[in-house]
Structure 1
Amino acid sequence: MYLGKRILGLITARGGSKGIPRKNLVNVGGKPLIGWTIDAALRSRLLDRLVLSSDDEEIIAVARSLGCDAPFVREAALAGDTAGSADVVIDCLERVPDYDYVVLLQPTSPLRSTEDIDGVIRQCLDAQAPACVSLCEVDESPFWMYAVGADKTIDPIFKNSYARRQDLPAVYSLNGAVYIAEADWFKRTRTFLSDDTCGYVMPRGRSLDIDTPSDLQYLQYVLSTPQ
């Protein structure tokens, strides 16, 4: 609880995965991928409860063995490739009611820390914002990006006069690690993103998103490298 608000942590992990089969259960650094998110969330001082939404019995069993509550099985209609994340979050809020805020934690961000989770929560509630999302600074600035026309001429995405890299403004992208929203607000808007959403900046080193086998290989390398 923070500032008198009840806060629900939600880990979403469906069984199907095209890029990496059984991705959420792949062993990395001695535990399943989903275990890194569960461990970080269970150490949070601000989450009142952590639950899993999954359609997969094996994922549910593994999550429970690692200390994560799994009070329901997600319906198949919400587990396909076309299912939207908003539907999954709202389904959880209806099954697990009476929370003021919901924090979405995806297992594909295993390097996010407990401090990041609690930092996003504090930033959202301290700012009295309806939502907050985690971000990281991009490697390549869109101010130096171009579109190529049919005649092969190039056109800058943004008209600007930045001649030197050090003059470019900092630009950030969603890193997928932590999302928080006021529960009733999310039910109405069905999104974490609005003009009133605030951002919590994370370092790139904790912003890895596991989507491809090469991402998984890089994660294995990071975890095996002495810090």
Structure 2
Amino acid sequence: MSRTVAIIPARGGSKRIPRKNIRDFAGQPLIAYSIKAAQESGVCDRVIVSTDDDEIADVARSFGAEIPFIRPPSLADDLTGTGAVVEHAVRWLTERGADPEFVCCIYATAPLISAERLSAAFKLLEAQPDMLHAFSVGRFSYPVHRGLLRDGDGVRMLYPEHLMTRSQDLPEVLHDAGQFYWSRLGQKQNVPMFGPLSIPILLPDWQVKDIDTEEDWCHAEILYKVIQAERS
């Protein structure tokens, strides 16, 4: 039995950055950073990559991840959500007797992920049996309550009632950091991740970066290299 399983979704059909999951990022395929973080966290009994792509599967295996199945085409299109991919992997494992107690979905596009925070998040969730999830979050650098929307050729406030509210009087607002999502299985299924039974794991600003465009990619590589230089 594998008590804790990391599942890394990595389909082959990335549109905005082709072959993004295995493109070279600071000397290694992008997916390698997520695989290594799971391995080095010390809390993942198995590290599984769910993919529909043979090349991604080969790269993932070369870094020590398992590819026990090839994801069906029905779960590899642009409209398939991460939840359905993780559910498929958990069902596959359960049907074969693995029956994990905790599962961690780790995005393949998270090169700034920290094995230490991955481990700390699991231990927090494990220690609080009434909580069902623990996932990475960042904080908005500017108060969203003072945000603006385009309005024709001009703008309008998203929350006009806060026109005169001082920034320091507004609540801190968090956002999904897009790195990892721990879940406790076997009870209260289908409880949403973004809810009162989830533990937010706050990451520092420099560790949070979505990679959706070439500009994002360049920025993330710069951040990664700076972090490595500071650690050396």
Contact 1:101 1:181 (C-alpha < 8 Å) held by counterparts: yes
1:138 aligns with 2:135: no
Map Cα deviations across residues 127-163 of structure 1 (whole Å, 9 max, x no partner).
Answer: 2201122101111211212446679673442734764
Partners of 1:135 and 1:153 in 2: CA distance? 29
User: How many corresponding residue pairs?
Assistant: 223
Map Cα deviations across residues 21-40 of structure 1 (whole Å, 9 max, x no partner).
Answer: 00001101111000011111
Aligned to 2:182: 180
Map Cα deviations across residues 80-138 of structure 1 (whole Å, 9 max, x no partner).
Answer: 00112111011000111210111000011110100111122122222220112210111
Partners of 1:153 and 1:171 in 2: CA distance? 22
Aligned to 2:37: 40
Change (3 A) 1:130 1:69: same
SS in 2 for 1:111: coil
SS in 1 for 2:33: helix
Partners of 1:206 and 1:223 in 2: CA distance? 9
Choose 67-76 or 212-221, whichever is displaced more. 212-221
Unaligned runs of 5+ in 2: none
SS in 2 for 1:37: helix
Change (3 A) 1:55 1:155: same
Alpha-carbon offset, residue 189 of structure 1: 0.8
SS in 2 for 1:38: helix
Partners of 2:135 and 2:83 in 1: CA distance? 14
Contact 1:10 1:105 (C-alpha < 8 Å) held by counterparts: yes
SS in 1 for 2:161: coil
Aligned to 1:29: 26
1:14 aligns with 2:15: no
Aligned to 1:207: 208
Q: 2:35 is aligned with what amino acid?
A: I
SS in 1 for 2:86: helix
Alpha-carbon offset, residue 11 of structure 1: 0.7
SS in 2 for 1:8: strand
Alignment of 1:188-207 (within 5 A): 188-189=189-190, 191-207=192-208
Partners of 1:152 and 1:215 in 2: CA distance? 27
Q: 2:203 is aligned with what amino acid?
A: M
SS in 2 for 1:55: coil
Change (3 A) 1:138 1:6: same
Contact 2:148 2:155 (C-alpha < 8 Å) held by counterparts: no
Contact 1:104 1:178 (C-alpha < 8 Å) held by counterparts: yes
Aligned to 2:159: 157
RMSD after superposition = 2.3
Contact 2:146 2:163 (C-alpha < 8 Å) held by counterparts: no
Alpha-carbon offset, residue 190 of structure 1: 6.9
Change (3 A) 1:100 1:154: same
> 4+ residue runs of structure 1 moved beyond 4 angstroms?
147-153
Contact 1:120 1:178 (C-alpha < 8 Å) held by counterparts: no
Choose 28-37 or 150-159, whichever is displaced more. 150-159
Contact 1:35 1:66 (C-alpha < 8 Å) held by counterparts: yes
Choose 216-225 or 194-203, whichever is displaced more. 216-225
1:93 aligns with 2:90: yes
Change (3 A) 1:224 1:182: closer
Aligned to 2:127: 126
Partners of 1:184 and 1:94 in 2: CA distance? 12
Aligned residues: percent identity? 30
- TM-score, with normalisation over the residues of structure 1? 0.89
Unaligned runs of 5+ in 1: none
Aligned to 1:167: 169
Q: 1:138 is aligned with what amino acid?
A: F
- TM-score, with normalisation over the residues of structure 2? 0.87
Map Cα deviations across residues 198-222 of structure 1 (whole Å, 9 max, x no partner).
Answer: 2111112111121111111112222
Contact 2:140 2:174 (C-alpha < 8 Å) held by counterparts: yes
